[in-house]
Chains A and B, each alone.
Chain A
């Protein structure tokens, strides 16, 4: 959601504006470097880089703008869309990512009046800088630990996107603590923002991981976050058609039909074991991320009612405040009213939070995973499409 005018007071808006300007200036320099050689694996020309930046970053920004309009249905009637910060960071790198998201926000503010003009700095800091930096940092850190494979890139992008959205919400709470104009207690803002954004983050993570997976299976050289995986230039891989006369195209000598079939069987067999393995890895990584994230968030969430209760008790508005917690937003309070010990109730709420988050996460994964067997034949289909794309592309 774009922050409008008047939500933050003038000093915080101005400070965020300065920070955003600095970040954009920095990424203008960085993006020049990222876009100069990153994509051009097949392009040996010594690109100066400067003149590549504008068209490429502009088109990536247009992509982010467009992909935010792609609806992902959740359940009957409701649907969500991608926020795109983490995706941009993974696909084109942190500097270009910040730049593109900032340009999208600027244009949305100027052309569609979406997001306040004085809140532009806040919006850029929250949705551009925080999301991109967290996502990219996590991705690179995880890739250093995980084995070098495409599956681990997908898993790492899942975690990166999953954490980046609540991180943005946490940054929002931080800014709110400094200069929010509304008089809502920090604990409530934090709990509401974090809980909603963990859910949003799960959706974002699933979509981002799937999108990165789709790109990496076609043009691994275009995934900036995993560019060391695509070491060589692009190779044309064709599965030979099993003709009765034997392999004509690939094998030069064409010694025996048996060898040809073996060779044609090898590429056909190779993707088959790869798919479940990457699947399992993605599944495990996702589960791990869910547990981790739920644990961290519920820790904070279980800590915040203590502060809230303390403030309420100090002001002598205890019962009223608690009344309104329950009435106002069911997600806002993570404590159990019946249990006297605050820590115990917080811990219990945390545990239940972990369980619920796990259940939701697993549910999403089961749903995604159940699709996989159906998807297996369509993998070849994607290959066909991508070959077409590559042809039109070059």
Chain B
């Protein structure tokens, strides 16, 4: 199995060499998780705290040599949710405020708490997405999975996840071939009427995936697989590495405490 090769396959990964790339994956996972947890726990009225969080992430991105353009482009996944947040001030409860000062919008009134909610979701969601994108940009897939295992995620779960990402492209290719086959037979999906054909494709895809799973299982059993994967690179993180990874959540902890205190 070409694990190294597969490790580069995922879309967000950015191959460079930097101190952040060199950190062990489980340190980075723990750091990102702690950071996001602290961000969520920060009171929304402390607007400046979220600015500081953003600065922290920008510093990490600089240290990781991740261009800001890459980061921002990958954060576009959040866009559907921004629409939802924008709607919030119009539907929320509580006292309403008039937009008197803005020309052309003087008749519109917005819910105050709705504005706060929208800000809350936007700020925290954006910071969470940015942190996740940074993690994914600096960590290879294989390392990420091993890191999850080191963080005491059940090995079976990690194995399932690794099978999923390893065969995800295979199954997606299978689906693409079926699509090409449909197209080359003159099939055009225009509406609900074509759902029958598409659902049959989905059914066929399930059968092929399941049967591929059976074949993979037999192939692995015949090569001595007994239900566990050997861990080849058993590298425990050094104290310095943990320290490096802890810089982000510790700084965030300070900001969070300040946010509650002030």
Contact = CB atoms under 8 A, between A and B. Distances in A.
Interface of A: 1, 4-7, 9-10, 13, 24-25, 28, 39-40, 48, 50-63, 65-67, 69-75, 82, 91-92, 99-100, 103-104, 106-107, 109-114, 116-118, 181-185, 188, 206-207, 210-215, 218-219, 222, 311, 315, 317, 320-321, 324, 327-329, 332, 364, 367-368, 370-371, 375, 382, 385-386, 389, 392-394
A70 B209 CA distance: 15
Contacts of A317: 93, 95-96
B59 interface: no
A53 B156 contact: yes
Contacts of B124: 4-6
Interface string B147-190: 00000001011011111111110111011000000000000011
B38 to A, nearest CB: 10
A66 B135 contact: no
Interface stretch (B60-68, B199-207, B232-240): B199-207
B121 to A, nearest CB: 5
Contact of B91 (A60, A320, A329): A329
A69 B172 contact: yes
Given A10-B37, A104-B164, A210-B195, A182 B202 contact: no
A5 B127 contact: yes
Helix, strand, loop or mixed for chain B's interface? helix
Given A60-B213, A73-B191, A327 B90 contact: yes
- How many chain B residues sit at the interface, stated as a range, is 35 or more
Contact of A66 (B87, B175, B203, B211): B175
B75 interface: yes
Contact of B80 (A1, A9, A75, A82): A1
Nearest 8 A/B pairs, CB to CB: A58-B163, A6-B124, A214-B203, A5-B128, A210-B199, A59-B213, A393-B211, A51-B227
A357 to B, nearest CB: 16
A167 B165 CA distance: 29
A276 to B, nearest CB: 15
Nearest to B13: A111
Interface of B: 10-12, 32-33, 36-37, 39-41, 44, 74-75, 77-78, 80-81, 87-88, 90-96, 109, 111, 113-114, 116-118, 120-121, 123-125, 127-129, 131-133, 135-136, 141, 144, 154, 156-157, 159-168, 170-172, 174-175, 189-196, 198-217, 220-221, 225-227
Contact of B159 (A9, A58, A67): A58
Contacts of A210: 195-196, 199-200, 203
Contact of B207 (A55, A73, A222): A222
A61 B196 contact: no
9 contacts: A6-B40, A28-B157, A57-B160, A66-B168, A111-B10, A112-B12, A210-B195, A214-B203, A386-B207
B78 A389 contact: no
B36 A117 contact: yes
B123 to A, nearest CB: 7
A66 B173 CA distance: 9
Contacts of B120: 6, 181-182
Contact of B175 (A70, A73, A110): A70
B189 A73 contact: yes
Contacts of A183: 92-94, 111, 113-114, 116-117
A56 B210 contact: yes
A184 B205 CA distance: 41
B90 to A, nearest CB: 5
Given A24-B157, A117-B132, A182-B92, A7 B121 contact: yes
B227 A54 contact: yes
Given A66-B175, A206-B195, A214 B209 contact: no
B191 A62 contact: no
A368 B194 CA distance: 8
B167 A393 contact: no
B196 A62 contact: no
Nearest to B155: A54
A91 B93 contact: no
Contacts of B36: 5, 116-118
A70 B198 contact: yes
A389 B200 CA distance: 13
B198 to A, nearest CB: 6
Contacts of A92: 210
Contacts of B194: 73
Contact of A111 (B136, B212, B221): B136
Contacts of A394: 211
Counting chain A CB atoms within 10 Å of each CB, which of B116, B174, B194, B212 scores highest?
B212
Nearest to A219: B207
Contact of A117 (B116, B121, B128): B128
B135 A110 contact: yes
B214 to A, nearest CB: 7
B114 A184 contact: yes
A106 B33 CA distance: 13
A207 B212 contact: no
A324 B121 CA distance: 21
Contacts of A117: 32-33, 36, 128, 131-132
Contacts of B91: 184, 188, 324, 328-329, 332
